[in-house]
Amino acid sequence: MKCSSSTNSNVSRTEKLPLIYLKASGIRHRLHGAGNAGRPLTQVKTGENRNRLHGTGNAGRPLLQDEQSGIRNRLGGASKGQIWSTDFVVSILIMLAVLVPAFMLWNNIHIESTEQRLLYSATRSAFSITDTMMSTPGIPIEWNNTSVMSVGFASENNILDEYKINEFNKTNYQKLKNIFGYDFYFELKDANGTIYLTKGVAPPDTATVIPVKRRGLYTDRIVTLSFFIWY
């Protein structure tokens, strides 16, 4: 009976409390009420906010640390890409710096070698042509301006046949050029400067010229045969 009276007495006191006091107690209970693991609600919410800010990331690391590591990784990857691009450009420039001069040197050597071969071939031809003129009758032996296949003026060694000199003068330039293989200029004059014959085309200033001079007899006079091939 005493317990019943006590309980009823407590209830009566609670019922007699003012309404404002009850509401205030309810608010305090909600603000400081038990949360997870018996902690106050405000403490639980504060802990959740900290967990969101500093929450666990990969391999148990805090989330902010993971984000900072990701930023560093992205920056590090960009730096490595830039370094690789710079190294590639530098390598290309070094390779060009080596290859371009080497190519130019090779090209110059090739050009010089080609010019030397042309000069050597033309020089051999010029001496061979004048040897044939001064020491053979030509082909055929009794050739004329239409039948000539090889130009030779000699009735005897270094003695020039007047008839063949005249036939040579009548022969078409293009035909003679085909026989000699080059453009040419021919001159026959004596020691006094008397010119007996000129034939061919004088070389331009820019041409490479191979001159050959031979001496012989023509109409019992000592003459100089000057023969130039050019290209």
- pLDDT for residue 70: 57
User: Does 73 map to a domain?
Assistant: no
Q: What DSSP element (H or E) covers 123?
A: helix 63-135
Residue 191 burial by Cβ neighbours in a 10 Å radius (0-12, 13-18, 19+): exposed
Return the DSSP state at 113.
H
User: Does 209 map to a domain?
Assistant: yes
- pLDDT for residue 74: 58
pTM: predicted TM-score of the whole model, two decimal places: 0.55
Per-residue pLDDT of the chain (231 residues; tens, 9 = 90+): 344 444 444 444 444 444 444 444 444 444 444 444 445 444 444 455 554 544 444 444 554 455 555 555 555 555 555 666 787 788 888 888 888 888 787 777 767 788 899 999 999 999 999 999 999 999 999 999 999 999 999 999 999 999 999 999 999 999 999 999 999 999 999 999 999 999 999 999 999 999 999 999 999 999 999 999 999
211 cis-preceded (ω within 30 degrees of 0): no
Strand segments, DSSP code E, in 69-115 are none
How far, in Å, CA of 196 to CA of 160, rounded?
12
User: Does 29 map to a domain?
Assistant: no
User: Does 116 map to a domain?
Assistant: no
- pLDDT for residue 155: 95
SS (H, E, C) 15-35: HHCCHHHHHHHHHHHHHHCEC
How far, in Å, CA of 75 to CA of 114, rounded?
58
User: Does 162 map to a domain?
Assistant: yes
> 225 lies in which domain range?
122-230
User: Does 218 map to a domain?
Assistant: yes
> Could you read off the pLDDT of 45-62 as tens digits, one per residue?
445 555 454 444 444 455
User: Does 63 map to a domain?
Assistant: no
What residues are paired with 217 via a beta bridge?
159, 222
- Close Cβ partners of 34 (under 8 Å, ≥ 6 residues apart): 40, 41
How far, in Å, CA of 202 to CA of 183, rounded?
9
Q: Is there a contact between 186 and 179 (Cβ–Cβ < 8 Å)?
A: no
Q: How many domains in the chain? A: 1
Dihedral of CA 117/204/127/167: which sign?
A: positive
User: Does 214 map to a domain?
Assistant: yes
